[in-house]
Each structure stands twice: as structure tokens, then as C-alpha cells.
A and B are shown apart, each in its own frame.
Chain A
């Protein structure tokens, strides 16, 4: 496996495009030098601090007069160990909020050529759809101005007010011409399952603008994290994200979203990976039994998932040994589904190697560049 630490080339997209034009071999060589981190998290201090300059006059007045602040997601309390690796915790402020430290650790530290910023802040979880739009706009404008503009290696997912699909579309279209936004970010646990028809207009626009739907761990806290109700420990809530992702994937496939939008891709971020094969088997088996219910799903769900679904590889939740990991990779049955990610600053691994242990070298290589470039087509255009 190539050691990512040695690949601190900061390989630019301009050179990549030039290489593609020159010839395919040069392009492949250029790709092989890249390492694209598909999930990093800049920290956001608050609405009355970080976001204030980016809010419109109405929301500026509102957040100050009503003290609307502290919207850190319940899924990610900043002081919780998972939310920041100890050696990445800034001296002051929230995890990931210090730009210079972020740059030194997340970009230079791992030698990533590109990194996709996913802001986890509560705009997606507020109940007022207009407030959600106001905060999403501010977050998107803030990340563009203060992060993307300060380092050419940075890209971002745009956050949208899923609470009101028409307003979500408005926000997507407002930003669509800025190709530094490479995907659309939503939370794994929301008001309704993502396959449902009220969200389809969003997918139409996403497909049109070559924006994959990135579903990130996290909850709007509308319903319990699953059928068993509200657990006692944050440990359980984090584990339950995996089941929440499964439900979303099943919904997207069975409602027929990928039949309707054949070019749409979905990226599961921070979902864990090792649950995937058994989940796909069961999806296939149940579909075989009751496919009469979803006649538009005209091939096995696992085939559809292999074509349309991608997963970031931190955390991986690996089997304990090499043999187990190799079997699991064999069971996944596709070398296109996994994407390299550090999940910086979340504490998923120690040391310098973000690639989960025992991933075969050829797959690791694909995960770093080819797969992300294929998944996020906008990465191939100039930022």
C-alpha cells in the first residue's frame, strides 16, 4: 500500500485536468498521486459569533435579540472524546475550529490533495424552515469565504434546509455555480426517510448539478434512533447510526429513487462499513420474497447499491484480523464503493495512518483518488 504520508504533493486539480487532456496514461499517473479526504469537519463556534456576519438582517437581529445560539448537534457534543482526537483538540474553541491547526493536521499532516469539509452544526435540525434556510445560507457562505477561499485544497458539502424541500432547492441553485461545493449534506436521522417522494425534487436538482447526496451521521432528534426507543448512553446513540443508515439506504432503493434518477450517487459518511454485506444480503432476500410490493425495483437491491452508494472508510468497524478484513472486502463485492476519509478531527484512529488496517493495497489506492473523483464529479473541475 502506498504510504499516504509520502504523498504530500498537494497535487492540483489544474494539473490533473491538464494531464487528462494530454493522455490517459498521464491522467492515471496524476490520479495515482492524489489523496482525497472525503470527510473532514471544520468547527463552527456559534450563530452570534461565527455566523453573524453571514446572516441577513432579519436573522442577525433575531439571533441577537432572542439569543438563538448553541446549536451544536446533540449527536456531537464537542467535549465528548469521539468528537476530537486528544492531540487534535485545539487549545481553545471547538474541535476543528482553528484554521491553521486544521490545515497543519488535516491537510499537511496527511498529505491530502483535496479534502471535503462537512459542517455539522444544527441548521439542519431547527424546526422553523425559514430559520433553517437562513442558517444554512450563512454556513455555506461562511465556509466558502473563510475556509474554501483560504486553501485551494478545500472543498465542501453544502448544507440545505431539508425541512422545506422547495427552500432546499433554492439554496442548491444559489450555490450551484460554485464548483467548490461538491455534494449536498443531510443527516442520517431526519423527519422522514430520504426515499420518500417529497424529497425527489431535490434529487432532480442534485442530479442535474452533479451533486451527490452525502448522508452524514447525526440526528435531528425527531424520533428515537430506532424502534427500541431512546437509549441511555451516547455510546448506544453512536452505534445506532449504523442502523439509521441502513434504513435510509433501503428507503432510497425501495422507493425507486435510483431508477428515477439514474445518475444520482449517495455517499454514506461516518456510517461504519462492516455492516454492509450482511445488510445487502438481507435486502436481497427480503426483496426476493416481497418484490411484488415494489415492482419498480427491477434488480436485486445490492446491485443497485453497488452502482449508486459509496461509503467513507472512517470508521470502518473492522473485523479483528487481516483474514476477516479481506473476506469482508470480498463480500462487499465492489472496489468502487469505499472512499478514503480521516473524519478529522473525530477520534476514529490513533497515529498517522487513516487507512483502516489490512485494506488491500490496490483497493486503498482506488479509495484515495479514483473512487472520490468518480463519486464527486465536481472534484475534477477547477475549484
Chain B
């Protein structure tokens, strides 16, 4: 472990070969609360007390850890603990020194996982928390470092509160996307979530769907697996199923300007689910007459995928095929800093990419999706 902890900034500096350095847009950076008291400025007294006495309540057997013990404390890289104390991702100066500066991060999209906002079973408490977290991201990260772009995180299962929060934040113009969880009470294509899509579309903000959450359903079609290994992998199955749900329920048909970004699901699964949807479309077409086009057409126009955890086939040519099947214009680089399964931008794609492709993947695709110009 020591060698990792001792890694210096110099070792983290990419591209020392003199080429002009590519500025990176990192679509998945996790900030953390230094302590829950950080929220007090944004959380009414009543809910501060609620948090202290009744606690965060999500569908998880444990109050203070994840259902599947992760591979490292707080899912994090062992070198990402700030020297000032507090959890990884909680110290902006250290995040800048360890990640943003050495990798030339031009913009970073913040993805808050603290307190499982989207999964709180007490919806009123969830709504109070989402307000607090959305303010906290701006005050603690975006304002001091404008490279970091906050997300409007909303609990999708209270669509009234979610829409109000999207409209409130959008009017202030400090956030770059709307975030909901792919593990919701119901599949995301369902009509109960459409008001959220209408609000995001009206605000001109992409809808980010970051893996995780507790919707009350087992991770697999046969119940709960034994291992974190399986639970981690099930995230890819979740996003594939949500892609199907959104497409087949006709969400892109109904909200043609809305952009969806699947975050931290990887991307290797995308071609196969798209082929599978097309393959069986004719057989099921009479069940879904609201679909005017083949499923793949919706996928290619409305969905983007962040890259981490990047696929690592033994043969570099195979990764190349997958990227071509999806279309490099649909891929957005993400590191998942400071988590253990972090993708290092220098090594994440073990297949040759042209300079033009690297520019797309590491920068210009995200720039266009998030309107950063």
C-alpha cells in the first residue's frame, strides 16, 4: 500500500512527451461531505434533528455501511484520503492537487452519492436533503473551483418535489445536469417519471443516471447475489435494462430534445442490448405501437455513456470494435475519482485512438452534451 500512498504529483503527470496536452472533461467525480454538519447551513432544523435521531433510511440492511462490503474503505483509492482528515473527495484542495490539476481537468461533473438522496424512503426527508445537497455542491465545490459542475440531484420517486427542485435550480443556472438513480421504485421509462423528463428538457439540461441506489428490487432476476463482485457487475445489467425501459416506453419519442447520460455503467454492454432490441422489435412491435423507429435509432440519437469502468478485453482490437459499434461520439470520459475502480485517463483505453478520437472522447463530446461553450 505504501508505494501507492507515496505516489507524487510528478508521477501523476500525464503525457511528458512534449505534445500539447489534451484538457480533459471528467464526467464522474465524487465529492463527499466532510461531515454531515456541512449540510446544516442548508437543512432546516427539523430535518437536522431527523437525520441525527432517525437517520438515513434506505432499503439496505445496515444503517452505516453498504449491503455488500466494498473492496476498500468508502469504496475509495487508498491514496485518496486527504491529509487533513475527512473522507476521500471531501477536501477540495487535495482533490485539485491529486486529480484536477495533474490531469488537466477542464471541467468535472460532480456526482454526489452521500446519503442516498434518490433512495430515501421518507420522501419529504429526501426532498429536504436534495435541496441541501444541491446547495452544498455549489457552495463547497463549484463556487471555489468553477471547473467543477454541480448536478441537480433529485429523488425520482417524488416527482412533484423533483420538478420543483429542477425548476428552482435551473432558474439559478448553477448546475449542469439533472441526476436520478437507475434503481428507482419502478423502471425509469414509466410515466410517473415523465414530469421529471419534461422539466429537464424544458431546462435544457441532460439527464444523468449514475449507477447505484436502492429501489427495493434485488440486483438480479433471481434475487440477491452473495458477493460484491456480482453486485458491482450488476450495475451494467441495471443500465442495460434502464436503456431498454426508456427506449421501449417511448421516452425519447415523447421528449425528443432530452439527452440521457448513463454514468459509471461502462459501455461494453451497449452494442449487444441495442442489437437485441432491434432483433426482437418486429416480434413485439404490435405491443409497442408508440415506437415510430427501430430502438437502435433512439439509442444512437438520445443516449451517451461515460466510460468508466472501461472495458479491458485481452485483445486491443476487440475494444476498438466495441467503440466503433457504439460510435465514439456517444462516449464521455469519466474517472470515478476518488473511488477504487478509478480509470486513469492515461491508461483507460487499451486500444489505439487517433488524436481526433481522443479529443472527442476526452473533451468535445462532453462539451457538446453539457453545453460548456
- CB of B351 closer than 8 Å to a CB of A: no
Q: Is A234 an interface residue (CB 8 A)?
A: yes
Does chain A have a CB within 8 A of B221? yes
CB within 8 A of A324: which of B190, B273, B325?
Answer: B325
Cross-chain contact B272 with A82 (CB below 8 angstroms): no
Interface centre among B218, B279, B288 (most CB of A within 10 A): B279
- The minimal Cβ–Cβ distance linking A126 to chain B, given in whole angstroms, is 17
A223, A254, A324: the one contacting B221 at CB < 8 Å is A223
Does A64 make an interface contact (CB < 8 A)? Answer: no
Q: How far is the CB of A14 from chain B (nearest CB, A)?
A: 39
| Cβ B287 vs Cβ A234 within 8 A | yes
Q: A12 near B: Cβ within 8 Å?
A: no
Interface size on B, as a range, is 35 or more
Contact with B along A4-29 (1 / 0, CB 8 A): 00000000000000000000000000
CB of A38 closer than 8 Å to a CB of B: no
Can you spell out 28 A-B residue pairs with CB atoms less than 8 angstroms apart?
A196-B226, A223-B217, A225-B241, A226-B219, A226-B221, A226-B237, A226-B238, A228-B182, A228-B187, A228-B217, A232-B245, A232-B248, A233-B248, A234-B284, A235-B281, A236-B248, A243-B220, A248-B220, A248-B222, A250-B229, A250-B233, A281-B313, A282-B311, A285-B312, A290-B71, A290-B229, A293-B228, A319-B325
**Interface residue? A239 (CB, 8 A):** yes
A50-58, A102-110, A168-176, A186-194 - interface stretch: A186-194
| A227 is an interface residue with CB less than 8 A from chain B | yes
B260 to chain A, nearest CB (A): 14
Contacts of A231 in B (CB 8 A): 187, 189, 241, 244-245, 248
A sample of 9 more A-B contacts (CB under 8 A), given A235-B280, A247-B220, is A193-B222, A228-B241, A229-B184, A229-B216, A230-B186, A274-B276, A281-B312, A293-B229, A331-B313
Judging by beta carbons under 8 Å apart, are B318 and A277 in contact? yes
CB distance from A173 to the nearest CB of B (A): 25
Q: In chain B, residues 240-257, which have Cβ atoms closer than 8 Å to a Cβ of chain A?
A: 240-242, 244-245, 248-249
| A residues less than 8 Å from B322 (CB atoms) | 278
Binary per-residue interface labels of chain A (282-295) against chain B in the complex, 1 for a CB within 8 Å, 0 otherwise:
11111101111110
Q: Contacts A255-B226, A278-B322, A289-B340; is A240 near B284 (CB within 8 Å)?
A: no
Minimal beta-carbon separation of A295 from chain B (angstroms): 12
Contact yes or no, B311 A244, CB < 8 A: no
Whether B159 is near chain A, meaning CB under 8 Å from some CB there, is: no
Answer whether residue B2 sits at the interface, using C-beta atoms and an 8 A cutoff: no
Q: Does B87 contact A (CB under 8 A)?
A: no
Q: Is B367 an interface residue (CB 8 A)?
A: no
Stretch from B13-21, B146-154, B263-271, B352-360 at the A interface: B263-271
A238–B283 Cα gap in the complex (Å)?
11
> B interface vs A, CB < 8 Å?
71, 182-190, 215-230, 232-234, 236-238, 240-242, 244-245, 248-249, 266, 268-269, 271-273, 275-281, 283-284, 286-288, 309, 311-313, 315, 318, 321-322, 325, 340-341
Asked whether any CB of chain B lies closer than 8 Å to the CB of A59, the reply is no
Q: Does A212 sit at the interface, judged by CB under 8 A? A: no
C-alpha spacing A246/B229, complex, angstroms: 13
In the complex, A278→B189 CA distance in Å? Answer: 25
A251 and B230 contact, CB distance less than 8 A: yes
Q: Do residues B220 and A226 form an inter-chain contact, with CB atoms below 8 A?
A: yes
Query: Once bound together, how far apart are the Cα atoms of A244 and B224, in whole Å?
Result: 12
Q: How far is the CA of A227 from the CA of B277 in the complex (A)?
A: 19
Contact A317 B222 (CB under 8 A): no
CB <8 Å contact, A224 and B218: yes
- Docked Cα-Cα span, A81 to B245, in Å, equals 20
State the CA gap A336–B110 with chains docked (Å). Answer: 45
Give the residues in chain A near B225, CB-CB below 8 Å.
193, 247, 250-251, 254
- The answer to whether A227 and B217 touch across the interface, beta carbons within 8 angstroms, is yes
Our pick among A228, A234, A293 for the contact of B184 (Cβ within 8 Å) is: A228
Known: A82-B283, A228-B183, A251-B230. A222 touches B223 (CB 8 A): yes
Q: Which of B218, B278, B281 has the most CB of A within 10 A?
A: B218
A279 CB-CB contact with B under 8 Å: yes
Residue among A189, A226, A229, A248 facing the most chain B CB atoms (10 A cut-off): A226
Determine whether the beta carbon of A293 is less than 8 Å from that of B71: yes
Taking CB atoms, residues of chain A closer than 8 Å to B279 are: 315-318
Please name the residue on chain A nearest to B188 by beta carbon.
A228
- Collect the chain A residues with CB atoms within 8 Å of residue B341's CB: 289
Q: Indicate if the CB atoms of A235 and B313 lie closer than 8 Å.
A: no
Chain B residue with minimal CB distance to A318?
Answer: B275
Q: Is A208 an interface residue (CB 8 A)?
A: no
Q: What is the minimal beta-carbon distance from A51 to any residue of chain B, in angstroms? A: 26
Bitwise interface map of A from 67 to 82 toward B, beta carbon under 8 Å scored 1, else 0: 0000000000000011
In angstroms, Cα B229 to Cα A247, docked, is: 11
In the docked arrangement, what's the CA distance between A286 and B369, Å?
A: 29
Instruction: Determine whether the beta carbon of B227 is less than 8 Å from that of A294.
Output: yes
Q: Is the CB of B284 within 8 A of A235?
A: yes
* A347 close to chain B: CB less than 8 A: yes
CA distance A186 to B224 in the complex (A): 18
Determine whether the beta carbon of B311 is less than 8 Å from that of A281: yes
